[in-house]
Structure 1
Protein backbone atom coordinates (compact mmCIF):
# COMPACT_ATOMS: atom_id res chain seq x y z
CA UNK A 1 0.00 0.00 0.00
CA UNK A 2 1.41 3.36 -1.08
CA UNK A 3 0.73 6.43 1.07
CA UNK A 4 0.71 8.60 -2.05
CA UNK A 5 -2.54 6.88 -3.04
CA UNK A 6 -4.18 8.15 0.15
CA UNK A 7 -4.30 11.98 0.01
CA UNK A 8 -5.35 12.53 3.65
CA UNK A 9 -2.50 10.46 5.06
CA UNK A 10 -0.02 11.91 2.57
CA UNK A 11 -1.02 15.43 3.65
CA UNK A 12 -0.61 14.40 7.30
CA UNK A 13 2.91 13.16 6.58
CA UNK A 14 3.82 16.39 4.78
CA UNK A 15 2.64 18.36 7.81
CA UNK A 16 4.68 16.09 10.09
CA UNK A 17 7.79 16.66 7.98
CA UNK A 18 7.28 20.43 8.17
CA UNK A 19 6.97 20.27 11.96
CA UNK A 20 9.90 17.93 12.52
CA UNK A 21 12.32 19.79 10.26
CA UNK A 22 11.41 23.28 11.51
CA UNK A 23 14.09 25.39 13.25
CA UNK A 24 15.09 23.93 16.60
CA UNK A 25 14.08 25.37 19.93
CA UNK A 26 17.71 26.43 20.33
CA UNK A 27 17.43 28.54 17.18
CA UNK A 28 14.17 30.02 18.46
CA UNK A 29 15.84 31.01 21.72
CA UNK A 30 18.55 32.81 19.74
CA UNK A 31 15.88 34.69 17.81
CA UNK A 32 14.16 35.65 21.06
CA UNK A 33 17.24 37.15 22.69
CA UNK A 34 18.46 38.68 19.44
CA UNK A 35 21.87 36.99 19.40
CA UNK A 36 23.37 33.47 19.33
CA UNK A 37 22.47 31.59 22.51
CA UNK A 38 26.05 30.33 22.89
CA UNK A 39 27.16 33.74 24.16
CA UNK A 40 24.56 33.68 26.93
CA UNK A 41 25.53 30.11 27.88
CA UNK A 42 29.19 31.13 28.30
CA UNK A 43 28.15 33.76 30.83
CA UNK A 44 26.51 31.19 33.12
CA UNK A 45 28.39 30.19 36.32
CA UNK A 46 30.78 27.30 35.72
CA UNK A 47 28.86 24.89 37.93
CA UNK A 48 25.45 25.72 36.46
CA UNK A 49 25.53 23.26 33.57
CA UNK A 50 26.41 20.33 35.79
CA UNK A 51 23.62 21.14 38.23
CA UNK A 52 21.16 21.56 35.37
CA UNK A 53 22.09 18.23 33.75
CA UNK A 54 21.61 16.38 37.04
CA UNK A 55 18.26 18.08 37.58
CA UNK A 56 17.11 17.30 34.02
CA UNK A 57 17.64 13.55 34.31
CA UNK A 58 15.76 13.46 37.62
CA UNK A 59 12.96 15.60 36.18
CA UNK A 60 12.53 13.40 33.10
CA UNK A 61 12.39 10.27 35.24
CA UNK A 62 9.63 11.68 37.40
CA UNK A 63 7.76 13.38 34.57
CA UNK A 64 7.19 10.39 32.30
CA UNK A 65 5.19 8.45 34.89
CA UNK A 66 3.46 11.43 36.50
CA UNK A 67 2.37 12.94 33.21
CA UNK A 68 0.96 9.74 31.70
CA UNK A 69 -0.72 8.75 34.97
CA UNK A 70 -2.50 12.11 35.16
CA UNK A 71 -4.25 11.64 31.79
CA UNK A 72 -7.23 9.40 31.11
CA UNK A 73 -6.06 6.58 28.86
CA UNK A 74 -8.63 7.14 26.11
CA UNK A 75 -6.95 7.10 22.66
CA UNK A 76 -8.25 9.56 20.05
CA UNK A 77 -9.28 12.10 22.71
CA UNK A 78 -8.66 15.60 21.34
CA UNK A 79 -5.49 17.23 22.71
CA UNK A 80 -5.77 20.35 24.90
CA UNK A 81 -2.76 22.17 23.50
CA UNK A 82 -3.70 25.70 24.61
CA UNK A 83 -4.41 24.67 28.20
CA UNK A 84 -1.01 23.01 28.58
CA UNK A 85 0.76 26.12 27.30
CA UNK A 86 -1.08 28.24 29.85
CA UNK A 87 -0.13 25.89 32.70
CA UNK A 88 3.51 25.86 31.59
CA UNK A 89 3.60 29.65 31.31
CA UNK A 90 2.24 29.99 34.84
CA UNK A 91 4.85 27.57 36.14
CA UNK A 92 7.63 29.44 34.33
CA UNK A 93 6.52 32.79 35.70
CA UNK A 94 6.95 31.49 39.25
CA UNK A 95 10.20 29.64 38.57
CA UNK A 96 11.85 32.52 36.77
CA UNK A 97 11.40 34.99 39.57
CA UNK A 98 14.13 33.87 41.99
CA UNK A 99 17.21 32.86 40.02
CA UNK A 100 18.91 29.52 39.29
CA UNK A 101 17.86 27.79 42.52
CA UNK A 102 14.17 28.40 41.87
CA UNK A 103 14.59 27.43 38.22
CA UNK A 104 15.98 24.04 39.24
CA UNK A 105 13.18 23.61 41.77
CA UNK A 106 10.61 24.46 39.11
CA UNK A 107 12.16 22.18 36.46
CA UNK A 108 10.31 18.96 37.49
CA UNK A 109 7.01 20.85 37.35
CA UNK A 110 7.56 22.41 33.93
CA UNK A 111 9.01 19.16 32.54
CA UNK A 112 5.98 17.22 33.77
CA UNK A 113 3.66 19.77 32.18
CA UNK A 114 5.53 19.55 28.87
CA UNK A 115 5.56 15.74 29.07
CA UNK A 116 1.83 15.81 29.76
CA UNK A 117 1.33 17.99 26.67
CA UNK A 118 3.33 15.48 24.62
CA UNK A 119 1.39 12.50 26.00
CA UNK A 120 -1.86 14.33 25.29
CA UNK A 121 -0.87 14.55 21.62
CA UNK A 122 0.11 10.84 21.63
CA UNK A 123 -3.30 9.95 23.01
CA UNK A 124 -5.03 12.10 20.38
CA UNK A 125 -3.16 10.20 17.66
CA UNK A 126 -4.54 6.91 19.01
CA UNK A 127 -1.68 5.64 21.18
CA UNK A 128 -2.18 3.66 24.39
CA UNK A 129 -0.59 5.57 27.29
CA UNK A 130 -0.13 2.38 29.31
CA UNK A 131 2.11 0.89 26.62
CA UNK A 132 5.83 1.06 27.44
CA UNK A 133 6.56 1.85 23.79
CA UNK A 134 4.33 4.93 24.03
CA UNK A 135 6.24 6.08 27.13
CA UNK A 136 9.49 5.64 25.24
CA UNK A 137 8.11 7.55 22.25
CA UNK A 138 7.09 10.43 24.54
CA UNK A 139 10.65 10.54 25.89
CA UNK A 140 12.05 10.54 22.36
CA UNK A 141 10.29 13.85 21.74
CA UNK A 142 12.55 15.47 24.35
CA UNK A 143 15.62 14.37 22.41
CA UNK A 144 14.46 16.67 19.60
CA UNK A 145 15.16 20.35 19.42
CA UNK A 146 18.78 20.40 20.52
CA UNK A 147 21.71 21.64 18.47
CA UNK A 148 22.75 19.63 15.41
CA UNK A 149 25.35 20.10 12.71
CA UNK A 150 22.56 20.92 10.28
CA UNK A 151 19.52 22.31 12.03
CA UNK A 152 17.00 21.34 9.37
CA UNK A 153 18.42 17.95 8.35
CA UNK A 154 15.98 15.09 8.87
CA UNK A 155 18.74 12.51 9.29
CA UNK A 156 20.67 14.43 11.97
CA UNK A 157 17.51 15.60 13.69
CA UNK A 158 14.37 13.50 13.77
CA UNK A 159 15.69 10.05 12.97
CA UNK A 160 18.75 10.46 15.14
CA UNK A 161 16.51 11.35 18.07
CA UNK A 162 14.40 8.27 17.43
CA UNK A 163 17.55 6.18 17.39
CA UNK A 164 18.09 6.76 21.11
CA UNK A 165 15.33 4.30 22.00
CA UNK A 166 16.82 1.69 19.65
CA UNK A 167 20.28 2.19 21.16
CA UNK A 168 18.93 1.78 24.67
CA UNK A 169 17.18 -1.43 23.60
CA UNK A 170 20.32 -2.75 21.94
CA UNK A 171 22.20 -2.38 25.23
CA UNK A 172 19.76 -4.86 26.73
CA UNK A 173 19.56 -7.14 23.68
CA UNK A 174 21.88 -9.83 25.04
CA UNK A 175 20.04 -10.01 28.33
CA UNK A 176 16.68 -10.12 26.54
CA UNK A 177 17.93 -12.82 24.18
CA UNK A 178 18.95 -14.97 27.15
CA UNK A 179 15.50 -14.54 28.71
CA UNK A 180 13.82 -15.46 25.43
CA UNK A 181 15.99 -18.56 25.11
CA UNK A 182 15.04 -19.71 28.61
CA UNK A 183 11.34 -18.91 28.56
CA UNK A 184 10.34 -18.47 24.95
CA UNK A 185 10.16 -15.34 22.86
CA UNK A 186 6.50 -14.90 23.66
CA UNK A 187 7.34 -14.21 27.31
CA UNK A 188 9.97 -11.55 26.65
CA UNK A 189 7.46 -8.75 26.04
CA UNK A 190 5.80 -9.50 29.36
CA UNK A 191 9.12 -9.19 31.16
CA UNK A 192 9.89 -5.99 29.26
CA UNK A 193 6.84 -4.39 30.82
CA UNK A 194 8.17 -5.12 34.32
CA UNK A 195 11.80 -5.56 35.40
CA UNK A 196 13.38 -5.12 31.96
CA UNK A 197 11.23 -2.10 31.14
CA UNK A 198 12.62 -0.26 34.16
CA UNK A 199 16.21 -0.80 33.01
CA UNK A 200 15.39 0.15 29.44
CA UNK A 201 13.56 3.32 30.44
CA UNK A 202 16.36 4.34 32.81
CA UNK A 203 18.92 4.05 30.02
CA UNK A 204 16.67 5.86 27.58
CA UNK A 205 16.11 8.68 30.07
CA UNK A 206 19.87 8.99 30.54
CA UNK A 207 20.42 9.29 26.78
CA UNK A 208 17.58 11.74 26.23
CA UNK A 209 18.69 13.84 29.21
CA UNK A 210 22.05 14.43 27.50
CA UNK A 211 20.30 16.35 24.71
CA UNK A 212 17.46 17.85 26.72
CA UNK A 213 20.00 19.07 29.27
CA UNK A 214 21.71 21.15 26.60
CA UNK A 215 18.37 22.69 25.65
CA UNK A 216 17.47 23.48 29.27
CA UNK A 217 20.90 25.01 29.82
CA UNK A 218 20.19 27.27 26.85
CA UNK A 219 16.82 28.15 28.37
CA UNK A 220 18.41 29.11 31.69
CA UNK A 221 20.99 31.21 29.83
CA UNK A 222 18.22 33.00 27.93
CA UNK A 223 16.43 33.75 31.19
CA UNK A 224 19.60 35.39 32.47
CA UNK A 225 19.64 37.91 29.59
CA UNK A 226 18.39 41.20 31.13
CA UNK A 227 16.75 42.50 27.96
CA UNK A 228 14.17 39.70 27.97
CA UNK A 229 12.56 41.16 31.09
CA UNK A 230 10.45 39.84 33.91
CA UNK A 231 8.17 37.79 31.69
CA UNK A 232 11.04 35.48 30.65
CA UNK A 233 9.95 32.39 32.55
CA UNK A 234 6.38 32.47 31.28
CA UNK A 235 7.44 33.32 27.73
CA UNK A 236 10.07 30.60 27.51
CA UNK A 237 7.91 27.89 29.06
CA UNK A 238 5.15 28.69 26.58
CA UNK A 239 7.69 28.64 23.73
CA UNK A 240 9.08 25.29 24.89
CA UNK A 241 5.66 23.71 25.35
CA UNK A 242 4.54 24.91 21.93
CA UNK A 243 7.71 23.51 20.36
CA UNK A 244 7.49 20.08 21.97
CA UNK A 245 3.78 19.84 21.18
CA UNK A 246 4.69 20.38 17.52
CA UNK A 247 7.44 17.76 17.77
CA UNK A 248 4.99 15.35 19.39
CA UNK A 249 2.37 15.89 16.69
CA UNK A 250 4.92 15.25 13.97
CA UNK A 251 6.44 12.26 15.78
CA UNK A 252 3.20 10.47 16.61
CA UNK A 253 1.77 11.18 13.15
CA UNK A 254 4.79 9.44 11.65
CA UNK A 255 4.47 6.51 14.06
CA UNK A 256 0.74 6.21 13.35
CA UNK A 257 1.36 6.13 9.60
CA UNK A 258 4.12 3.55 10.07
CA UNK A 259 1.52 1.18 11.52
CA UNK A 260 -0.39 1.32 8.22
CA UNK A 261 2.30 1.69 5.56
CA UNK A 262 5.44 0.31 7.21
CA UNK A 263 8.42 2.08 8.78
CA UNK A 264 10.71 1.85 5.74
CA UNK A 265 8.12 3.22 3.32
CA UNK A 266 7.28 6.15 5.61
CA UNK A 267 10.93 6.96 6.21
CA UNK A 268 11.64 6.99 2.48
CA UNK A 269 8.72 9.33 1.83
CA UNK A 270 9.64 11.46 4.87
CA UNK A 271 13.16 12.01 3.57
CA UNK A 272 11.86 12.76 0.07
CA UNK A 273 9.47 15.40 1.43
CA UNK A 274 12.16 16.83 3.74
CA UNK A 275 14.55 17.22 0.78
CA UNK A 276 11.85 19.01 -1.21
CA UNK A 277 11.05 21.38 1.65
CA UNK A 278 14.74 22.12 2.16
CA UNK A 279 15.19 22.82 -1.54
CA UNK A 280 12.20 25.18 -1.57
CA UNK A 281 13.56 26.94 1.54
Structure 2
Protein backbone atom coordinates (compact mmCIF):
# COMPACT_ATOMS: atom_id res chain seq x y z
CA UNK A 1 0.00 0.00 0.00
CA UNK A 2 1.31 3.42 -0.94
CA UNK A 3 0.84 5.81 1.99
CA UNK A 4 2.89 8.57 0.40
CA UNK A 5 2.36 11.89 2.15
CA UNK A 6 2.35 15.08 0.13
CA UNK A 7 3.14 17.89 2.61
CA UNK A 8 0.14 18.37 4.91
CA UNK A 9 -2.52 18.23 2.24
CA UNK A 10 -3.78 15.83 -0.36
CA UNK A 11 -3.35 16.79 -4.04
CA UNK A 12 -6.01 19.10 -5.43
CA UNK A 13 -7.36 16.43 -7.80
CA UNK A 14 -7.87 14.13 -4.81
CA UNK A 15 -9.74 16.86 -2.94
CA UNK A 16 -11.99 17.32 -5.97
CA UNK A 17 -12.74 13.59 -5.99
CA UNK A 18 -13.51 13.60 -2.28
CA UNK A 19 -15.80 16.62 -2.60
CA UNK A 20 -17.71 14.95 -5.41
CA UNK A 21 -17.98 11.73 -3.40
CA UNK A 22 -19.15 13.57 -0.28
CA UNK A 23 -21.86 15.38 -2.24
CA UNK A 24 -23.23 12.02 -3.36
CA UNK A 25 -22.82 10.20 -0.06
CA UNK A 26 -24.20 12.87 2.28
CA UNK A 27 -27.00 14.46 0.23
CA UNK A 28 -29.89 13.64 -2.09
CA UNK A 29 -31.24 10.25 -1.12
CA UNK A 30 -33.51 8.29 -3.42
CA UNK A 31 -36.61 10.07 -2.07
CA UNK A 32 -35.22 13.40 -3.32
CA UNK A 33 -34.52 11.93 -6.74
CA UNK A 34 -37.98 10.41 -7.00
CA UNK A 35 -39.54 13.71 -5.95
CA UNK A 36 -37.71 15.38 -8.84
CA UNK A 37 -39.04 12.72 -11.20
CA UNK A 38 -42.66 12.65 -10.03
CA UNK A 39 -43.01 16.28 -9.06
CA UNK A 40 -44.27 15.79 -5.51
CA UNK A 41 -42.71 14.62 -2.26
CA UNK A 42 -42.40 10.88 -1.66
CA UNK A 43 -43.32 9.90 1.88
CA UNK A 44 -43.32 6.21 2.64
CA UNK A 45 -43.26 3.76 5.49
CA UNK A 46 -43.64 0.04 5.31
CA UNK A 47 -45.60 0.30 8.56
CA UNK A 48 -48.35 2.18 6.70
CA UNK A 49 -49.00 -0.77 4.42
CA UNK A 50 -51.65 -3.40 5.22
CA UNK A 51 -50.16 -6.28 7.20
CA UNK A 52 -50.26 -8.68 4.25
CA UNK A 53 -48.56 -6.18 1.93
CA UNK A 54 -46.02 -5.20 4.57
CA UNK A 55 -45.10 -8.84 5.17
CA UNK A 56 -44.77 -9.41 1.42
CA UNK A 57 -42.43 -6.45 1.07
CA UNK A 58 -40.26 -7.54 4.00
CA UNK A 59 -40.10 -11.04 2.51
CA UNK A 60 -39.07 -9.56 -0.86
CA UNK A 61 -36.35 -7.46 0.79
CA UNK A 62 -35.06 -10.46 2.73
CA UNK A 63 -35.04 -12.63 -0.40
CA UNK A 64 -33.32 -9.88 -2.40
CA UNK A 65 -30.54 -9.53 0.16
CA UNK A 66 -30.02 -13.30 0.39
CA UNK A 67 -29.87 -13.59 -3.40
CA UNK A 68 -27.48 -10.62 -3.58
CA UNK A 69 -25.23 -12.19 -0.93
CA UNK A 70 -25.14 -15.46 -2.86
CA UNK A 71 -24.33 -13.67 -6.13
CA UNK A 72 -21.67 -11.52 -4.43
CA UNK A 73 -19.83 -14.46 -2.88
CA UNK A 74 -20.21 -17.00 -5.67
CA UNK A 75 -19.92 -15.09 -8.95
CA UNK A 76 -18.43 -11.59 -8.69
CA UNK A 77 -14.88 -12.87 -8.58
CA UNK A 78 -15.33 -14.93 -11.74
CA UNK A 79 -16.11 -12.06 -14.12
CA UNK A 80 -13.12 -11.23 -16.36
CA UNK A 81 -14.42 -7.75 -17.27
CA UNK A 82 -11.84 -5.18 -16.19
CA UNK A 83 -13.78 -1.95 -16.72
CA UNK A 84 -17.21 -1.16 -15.37
CA UNK A 85 -18.19 1.37 -18.03
CA UNK A 86 -19.47 -0.81 -20.91
CA UNK A 87 -22.28 -2.53 -19.00
CA UNK A 88 -23.72 0.22 -16.80
CA UNK A 89 -26.14 1.41 -19.49
CA UNK A 90 -27.15 -2.18 -20.23
CA UNK A 91 -27.94 -2.77 -16.57
CA UNK A 92 -29.93 0.46 -16.45
CA UNK A 93 -31.98 -0.50 -19.49
CA UNK A 94 -32.67 -3.95 -18.07
CA UNK A 95 -33.75 -2.39 -14.77
CA UNK A 96 -36.12 -0.13 -16.71
CA UNK A 97 -37.76 -3.12 -18.35
CA UNK A 98 -38.23 -4.79 -14.96
CA UNK A 99 -39.61 -1.56 -13.49
CA UNK A 100 -42.10 -1.21 -16.33
CA UNK A 101 -43.82 -4.38 -15.15
CA UNK A 102 -43.96 -3.05 -11.60
CA UNK A 103 -45.39 0.26 -12.74
CA UNK A 104 -48.03 -1.41 -14.87
CA UNK A 105 -49.16 -3.51 -11.91
CA UNK A 106 -49.05 -0.64 -9.40
CA UNK A 107 -46.22 -2.19 -7.42
CA UNK A 108 -48.01 -5.51 -6.93
CA UNK A 109 -45.11 -7.40 -8.52
CA UNK A 110 -42.57 -6.34 -5.90
CA UNK A 111 -41.89 -9.92 -4.75
CA UNK A 112 -40.77 -10.90 -8.26
CA UNK A 113 -39.30 -7.58 -9.35
CA UNK A 114 -37.14 -6.59 -6.37
CA UNK A 115 -34.71 -9.57 -6.36
CA UNK A 116 -34.10 -9.08 -10.09
CA UNK A 117 -33.55 -5.33 -9.70
CA UNK A 118 -31.25 -5.94 -6.72
CA UNK A 119 -29.03 -8.34 -8.67
CA UNK A 120 -28.85 -5.90 -11.60
CA UNK A 121 -27.77 -3.17 -9.21
CA UNK A 122 -25.17 -5.47 -7.65
CA UNK A 123 -23.73 -6.31 -11.08
CA UNK A 124 -23.40 -2.60 -11.85
CA UNK A 125 -21.80 -1.97 -8.47
CA UNK A 126 -19.29 -4.74 -9.14
CA UNK A 127 -18.36 -3.26 -12.52
CA UNK A 128 -17.74 0.09 -10.87
CA UNK A 129 -15.71 -1.53 -8.10
CA UNK A 130 -13.43 -3.19 -10.68
CA UNK A 131 -12.98 0.09 -12.51
CA UNK A 132 -11.77 1.64 -9.22
CA UNK A 133 -9.17 -1.08 -8.71
CA UNK A 134 -11.01 -3.50 -6.42
CA UNK A 135 -9.97 -7.15 -6.53
CA UNK A 136 -13.30 -8.95 -6.60
CA UNK A 137 -11.71 -12.31 -5.90
CA UNK A 138 -11.37 -10.85 -2.38
CA UNK A 139 -14.27 -11.65 -0.03
CA UNK A 140 -13.90 -8.23 1.61
CA UNK A 141 -14.33 -6.49 -1.75
CA UNK A 142 -17.32 -8.68 -2.58
CA UNK A 143 -18.97 -7.68 0.69
CA UNK A 144 -18.06 -4.03 0.05
CA UNK A 145 -20.23 -4.31 -3.08
CA UNK A 146 -23.10 -5.62 -0.99
CA UNK A 147 -22.53 -2.82 1.53
CA UNK A 148 -23.50 -0.24 -1.11
CA UNK A 149 -27.17 -1.13 -0.46
CA UNK A 150 -26.77 0.32 3.06
CA UNK A 151 -25.29 3.67 1.99
CA UNK A 152 -28.29 5.69 0.79
CA UNK A 153 -27.70 9.21 2.15
CA UNK A 154 -31.41 9.84 2.64
CA UNK A 155 -31.55 7.10 5.26
CA UNK A 156 -31.12 9.09 8.46
CA UNK A 157 -30.77 6.09 10.76
CA UNK A 158 -27.30 4.92 11.70
CA UNK A 159 -26.80 1.19 11.94
CA UNK A 160 -25.73 0.80 15.54
CA UNK A 161 -24.83 4.28 16.72
CA UNK A 162 -27.56 6.73 17.66
CA UNK A 163 -25.12 9.62 18.06
CA UNK A 164 -23.58 9.74 14.60
CA UNK A 165 -24.88 9.38 11.07
CA UNK A 166 -23.29 9.66 7.67
CA UNK A 167 -21.17 7.61 5.31
CA UNK A 168 -18.23 6.83 7.57
CA UNK A 169 -20.53 6.23 10.54
CA UNK A 170 -22.37 3.54 8.59
CA UNK A 171 -19.11 1.95 7.50
CA UNK A 172 -17.76 2.00 11.04
CA UNK A 173 -20.94 0.50 12.44
CA UNK A 174 -20.83 -2.32 9.89
CA UNK A 175 -17.09 -2.98 10.09
CA UNK A 176 -17.28 -5.76 12.68
CA UNK A 177 -20.06 -7.59 10.83
CA UNK A 178 -18.11 -7.41 7.57
CA UNK A 179 -14.97 -8.71 9.30
CA UNK A 180 -16.91 -11.56 10.91
CA UNK A 181 -18.60 -12.47 7.62
CA UNK A 182 -15.31 -12.31 5.70
CA UNK A 183 -13.52 -14.50 8.24
CA UNK A 184 -16.36 -17.02 8.19
CA UNK A 185 -16.29 -17.30 4.39
CA UNK A 186 -12.50 -17.57 4.27
CA UNK A 187 -12.59 -20.37 6.83
CA UNK A 188 -15.72 -22.23 5.76
CA UNK A 189 -16.37 -21.27 2.14
CA UNK A 190 -19.73 -20.16 0.73
CA UNK A 191 -21.69 -23.37 1.07
CA UNK A 192 -23.64 -22.10 4.09
CA UNK A 193 -24.91 -18.57 3.41
CA UNK A 194 -27.41 -19.05 6.26
CA UNK A 195 -24.62 -19.05 8.84
CA UNK A 196 -25.09 -16.49 11.68
CA UNK A 197 -22.27 -14.09 10.66
CA UNK A 198 -23.68 -13.80 7.14
CA UNK A 199 -27.30 -13.57 8.27
CA UNK A 200 -26.41 -10.79 10.71
CA UNK A 201 -24.70 -8.77 7.98
CA UNK A 202 -27.52 -9.28 5.48
CA UNK A 203 -30.12 -8.32 8.09
CA UNK A 204 -28.23 -5.12 8.90
CA UNK A 205 -27.97 -4.14 5.25
CA UNK A 206 -31.56 -5.17 4.55
CA UNK A 207 -32.88 -2.93 7.31
CA UNK A 208 -31.40 0.14 5.63
CA UNK A 209 -32.22 -1.05 2.11
CA UNK A 210 -35.84 -1.52 3.21
CA UNK A 211 -36.20 2.21 3.84
CA UNK A 212 -35.20 2.91 0.25
CA UNK A 213 -37.45 0.17 -1.09
CA UNK A 214 -40.45 1.63 0.75
CA UNK A 215 -39.87 4.95 -1.05
CA UNK A 216 -39.61 3.15 -4.38
CA UNK A 217 -42.86 1.27 -3.70
CA UNK A 218 -44.63 4.49 -2.71
CA UNK A 219 -43.66 6.04 -6.04
CA UNK A 220 -44.69 2.98 -8.07
CA UNK A 221 -48.00 2.73 -6.22
CA UNK A 222 -49.18 6.11 -7.53
CA UNK A 223 -52.19 5.16 -9.71
CA UNK A 224 -51.16 7.19 -12.74
CA UNK A 225 -47.53 6.14 -12.76
CA UNK A 226 -48.03 3.34 -15.30
CA UNK A 227 -45.45 1.20 -17.07
CA UNK A 228 -43.41 4.14 -18.40
CA UNK A 229 -43.22 5.70 -14.96
CA UNK A 230 -42.25 2.35 -13.44
CA UNK A 231 -39.43 2.02 -15.95
CA UNK A 232 -38.17 5.53 -15.13
CA UNK A 233 -38.36 4.86 -11.39
CA UNK A 234 -36.33 1.67 -11.69
CA UNK A 235 -33.82 3.46 -13.92
CA UNK A 236 -33.48 6.15 -11.24
CA UNK A 237 -33.18 3.39 -8.64
CA UNK A 238 -30.20 1.71 -10.32
CA UNK A 239 -28.64 5.06 -11.33
CA UNK A 240 -28.81 6.14 -7.69
CA UNK A 241 -26.85 3.11 -6.52
CA UNK A 242 -24.38 3.43 -9.39
CA UNK A 243 -23.61 6.95 -8.15
CA UNK A 244 -23.21 5.71 -4.57
CA UNK A 245 -20.93 2.92 -5.78
CA UNK A 246 -18.73 5.35 -7.72
CA UNK A 247 -18.33 7.52 -4.63
CA UNK A 248 -17.82 4.57 -2.24
CA UNK A 249 -15.17 2.83 -4.32
CA UNK A 250 -13.46 6.08 -5.21
CA UNK A 251 -12.97 6.68 -1.48
CA UNK A 252 -11.74 3.11 -0.97
CA UNK A 253 -9.22 3.63 -3.79
CA UNK A 254 -7.95 6.80 -2.12
CA UNK A 255 -7.79 5.02 1.24
CA UNK A 256 -5.54 2.36 -0.28
CA UNK A 257 -3.18 5.06 -1.49
CA UNK A 258 -3.22 7.63 1.30
CA UNK A 259 -4.46 5.67 4.31
CA UNK A 260 -7.91 5.36 5.86
CA UNK A 261 -7.39 7.81 8.71
CA UNK A 262 -6.03 10.56 6.49
CA UNK A 263 -8.80 10.30 3.90
CA UNK A 264 -11.48 10.26 6.60
CA UNK A 265 -9.99 13.33 8.29
CA UNK A 266 -9.91 15.30 5.04
CA UNK A 267 -13.41 14.11 4.09
CA UNK A 268 -14.75 15.28 7.45
CA UNK A 269 -13.28 18.74 6.94
CA UNK A 270 -14.79 19.28 3.50
CA UNK A 271 -17.85 21.52 3.14
- TM value normalised by structure 2: 0.81
In 2, Cα distance between equivalents of 1:156 and 1:46? 30
Residue 195 of structure 1: how far off its partner (Å)? 7.7
Q: CA RMSD in A?
A: 3.0
Partner deviation per Cα, 1:80-120 (whole Å, 9 max, x = no partner)? 32221111111111233234442211111111001111111
Greater alpha carbon shift after TM alignment, 246-255 vs 226-235: 226-235
1:53 aligns with 2:52: no
In the alignment, structure 2 segments of 5+ residues that lack a partner are 159-163
In 2, Cα distance between equivalents of 1:15 and 1:23? 13
Greater alpha carbon shift after TM alignment, 114-123 vs 137-146: 137-146
Q: Which residue does the alignment assign to 2:250?
A: 253
Partner deviation per Cα, 1:179-232 (whole Å, 9 max, x = no partner)? xxxxxxxxx884275589854332211101001112111111111112434322
Q: Which residue does the alignment assign to 2:227?
A: 230
In 2, Cα distance between equivalents of 1:58 and 1:219? 17
1:262 aligns with 2:267: no
- Aligned to 1:36, the other structure's residue is in SS state coil
**Matching of residues 1-281 of structure 1 within 5 Å:** 1-2=4-5, 4-38=9-43, 44-66=49-71, 69=75, 73-74=79-80, 76-79=82-85, 80-145=87-152, 146-148=154-156, 156-169=165-178, 172=180, 190-191=186-187, 199-273=196-270, 276=271
In 1, Cα distance between equivalents of 2:249 and 2:100? 30
How many equivalent pairs are there?
256
Residue 71 of structure 1: how far off its partner (Å)? 7.4
Rate the CA distance shift 1:263–1:72 in 2: closer, same or farther, 3 A: same
Residue 258 of structure 1: how far off its partner (Å)? 0.7
Residue 17 of structure 1: how far off its partner (Å)? 1.7
In 2, Cα distance between equivalents of 1:255 and 1:70? 18
Partner deviation per Cα, 1:9-67 (whole Å, 9 max, x = no partner)? 33322222222123111222233333332268676434323321221121122124336
- Aligned to 1:122, the other structure's residue is in SS state helix
In the alignment, structure 1 segments of 5+ residues that lack a partner are 177-187, 277-281
In 1, Cα distance between equivalents of 2:224 and 2:108? 21
Rate the CA distance shift 1:2–1:26 in 2: closer, same or farther, 3 A: farther
The answer as to whether partners of 2:149 and 2:241 remain within 8 angstroms in 1 is yes
Partner deviation per Cα, 1:124-150 (whole Å, 9 max, x = no partner)? 111122211112111211112243179
The answer as to whether partners of 1:74 and 1:128 remain within 8 angstroms in 2 is no
In 1, Cα distance between equivalents of 2:151 and 2:52? 25
More helix by share: 1
- Aligned to 1:23, the other structure's residue is in SS state coil
The answer as to whether partners of 1:26 and 1:218 remain within 8 angstroms in 2 is yes
In 2, Cα distance between equivalents of 1:27 and 1:259? 32
